[in-house]
Amino acid sequence: MTAQPDLRLSLSAGAASVAVAGTLVALKLWALWHTGALSIAASLADSAMDLMMSLGAAAAILYAARPADDDHAFGHTSAEDLAALAQALFILGSAAAISWGAVGRLISPDAPVIEGEAAGMVVILISMALTLALVWWQGRVAARTGNKVVAADRLHYLGDLIPSLGALVALWASSRFGITRIDAVVALGAAGIMAFGALQIGRSAWHALMDRQADPATIARIGEIAGAWPGVHGYHDLKTRTSGSRLFVYLHIELDGTQTLRQAHDIGAALRRALLAEFPGADVIIHKDVAAGSDGRPGT
């Protein structure tokens, strides 16, 4: 599949994510107005964060697809990490605000009043159905394109089903048994999930901005492919880093010093194609060295 269809598919997932998040924000605003449930407020805040993250993800996909230029020789994929770090900080602030409101309700001597539970439950069920449809489409796009931004956004929306389910339980408990304080407990749980997700996103973005190496499984797989490649006598100085959804690989391979330049080039080019097939979209640079003793002289 060419890069352009991949970009269109990734952008379609981004546009669907923005559309679903915007619809959920509108629905939950209406439900909050009718019910006054803090669990709905937590779910609304989560959907608002989703909308911001989806907008950022769509913009990052589009911006990161720009080719390298004189000012950005390695491309523009770091924009994804900058956007993710900003979103993580915003999510943490929202989680703190929701937690403050939930604790206030729990310690208040007056039980909170929740109304219109049935309408709220209908809204939550609709939001869960829309989220499941979005997750299905994002899964298809991620599988076909290998876009890590879409895959990460999909995982985020899967996690959003938990606060929605909690809000549904809180509304049902209020309607069935008149238990309203469970609403604040659910809100606290949702805030905790939001904070945990924000810390994970922020940590990943920070590591990428600091040029941290790829995960150990990726590095091991690169070494496995390079070490077993025909014509390669060994490899060294394997270095990796990530930027946004892109992987950068720098590798020295050791070749027979008596072969022709064309033969050495073909081995390196074939290995590069194999690494790109394993890690689509990666930037792979391979330096060719003479294997020690292969031409009767020390290797370089």
Instruction: Give the Cα-Cα-Cα angle 190, 191, 195 (nearest 5 degrees).
Output: 120
| Mean pLDDT (the chain, rounded) | 77
Query: Is the pLDDT score of 268 beyond 90?
Result: yes
Q: What distances in angstroms separate CA 252 from CA 25, 277, 282, 284, one per listed residue?
A: 51, 19, 17, 11
3-state secondary structure (DSSP) of residue 44: helix
20 Cβ neighbours under 8 A, 6+ residues apart: 54, 130, 131, 133, 134
Asked whether 59 and 87 are in contact (CB, 8 A), the reply is: no
Asked whether 121 and 171 are in contact (CB, 8 A), the reply is: yes
| DSSP per position, 136-169 | HHHHHHHHHH--HHHHHHHHHHHHHHHHHHHHHH
Asked whether 171 and 112 are in contact (CB, 8 A), the reply is: no
Asked whether 30 and 15 are in contact (CB, 8 A), the reply is: no
Asked whether 54 and 153 are in contact (CB, 8 A), the reply is: yes
The percentage of residues in the chain with a pLDDT greater than 70, rounded to a whole number, is 72
Positive or negative torsion for Cα 231, 233, 236, 242: positive
Distance CA 180, CA 112 (A): 6
Over residues 163-197, the pLDDT tens digits come to 677 677 777 777 776 666 666 777 777 778 778 87
pLDDT at residue 62, rounded to an integer:
72
Q: Assign 267 a pLDDT band (cuts: 50, 70, 90).
A: very high
Cβ atoms < 10 Å from Cβ of 63: 16
Query: Is the pLDDT score of 265 beyond 90?
Result: yes
What are the chain's domains? 3-209 (1.20.1510.10), 216-290 (3.30.70.1350)
Cβ atoms < 10 Å from Cβ of 266: 13
Q: Which two tokens stand for residue 230?
A: 């025909």
Distance CA 120, CA 102 (A): 18
| DSSP per position, 49-81 | HHHHHHHHHHHHHHHHTSPP-SS-TT-STHHHH
pLDDT at residue 156, rounded to an integer:
66
If you ran DSSP here, which 8-state letter would residue 259 be given?
S
Cβ atoms < 10 Å from Cβ of 115: 13
pLDDT at residue 218, rounded to an integer:
92
